[in-house]
């Protein structure tokens, strides 16, 4: 089964770039792994699930995601176990949504490859988004459309931070730069090239 954590990046990109339509094939829809897609649907994302089947003993399906206007939502702590690694990229969707989105029960993000709450907060603020965090939660005031962007993001060598802010840069008014894309190879080899094939303009300036 294809990994929902990796699928989250093109999925979020599709929701925040107007006119997008992306099909992701053979994605695991194990109930313990689909928090990111449930959360995007809660925000109004149009996600179609077809060709449900079993592969390797796991339920999978093809997902088609369309660009759409997103609205804020509340993500309870009970959902964290099913999407703990996907909160950084979901925060990019929340930054583009209308209204205030809150994530609770996300304190574990403070002890990942970086303090992901702190790095997401700093990066979004640099892109013109209002964000507040505490020990176990994050609140994002959505821009109701494209955030300003125009920032260089310190990724702290964290692969999910690097990929998340490149996704955000696909929708911002001004380009978003990250300090190092190499960590993305940790979990999504060929990330930049895969996104370029979908139309993303990712330029290596190193």
Tokens 């990942």, residue located: 112
Task: Say how far apart CA 137 and CA 76 lie, in whole Å.
Answer: 10
Q: State the Cα–Cα distance between residues 144 and 96, nearest whole angstrom.
A: 6
- Let me know if 104 is exposed, middle or buried by CB neighbors in 10 A (0-12, 13-18, 19+): middle
Active-site residue flag, 179: no
Per annotation, catalytic residue among 3, 42, 62, 85: 85
| Active site (catalytic) residues | 85
């Amino acid at each position: 089964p294809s990994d929902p954590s990796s699928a989250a990046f093109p999925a979020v990109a599709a929701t925040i770039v107007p006119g997008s339509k992306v099909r992701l094939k053979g994605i695991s829809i194990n109930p313990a792994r689909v928090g990111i897609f449930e959360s995007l649907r809660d925000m109004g994302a149009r996600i179609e699930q077809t060709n449900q089947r079993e592969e390797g003993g796991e339920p999978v399906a093809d997902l088609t995601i369309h660009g759409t206007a997103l609205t804020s939502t509340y993500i309870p702590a009970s959902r964290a176990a099913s999407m703990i690694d996907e909160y950084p990229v979901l925060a990019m969707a929340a930054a583009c949504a209308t209204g205030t989105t809150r994530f609770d029960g996300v304190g574990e993000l403070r002890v990942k490859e970086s303090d992901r709450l702190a790095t997401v907060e700093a990066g979004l603020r640099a892109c013109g988004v209002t964000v507040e965090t505490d020990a176990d939660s994050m609140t994002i005031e959505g821009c109701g459309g494209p955030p300003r962007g125009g920032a260089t993001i310190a990724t702290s060598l964290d692969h999910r931070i690097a990929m998340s802010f490149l996704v955000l840069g696909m929708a911002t008014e001004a380009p978003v730069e990250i300090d190092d894309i190499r960590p993305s190879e940790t979990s999504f080899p060929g990330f930049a090239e895969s996104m370029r094939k979908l139309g993303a303009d990712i330029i290596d300036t190193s």
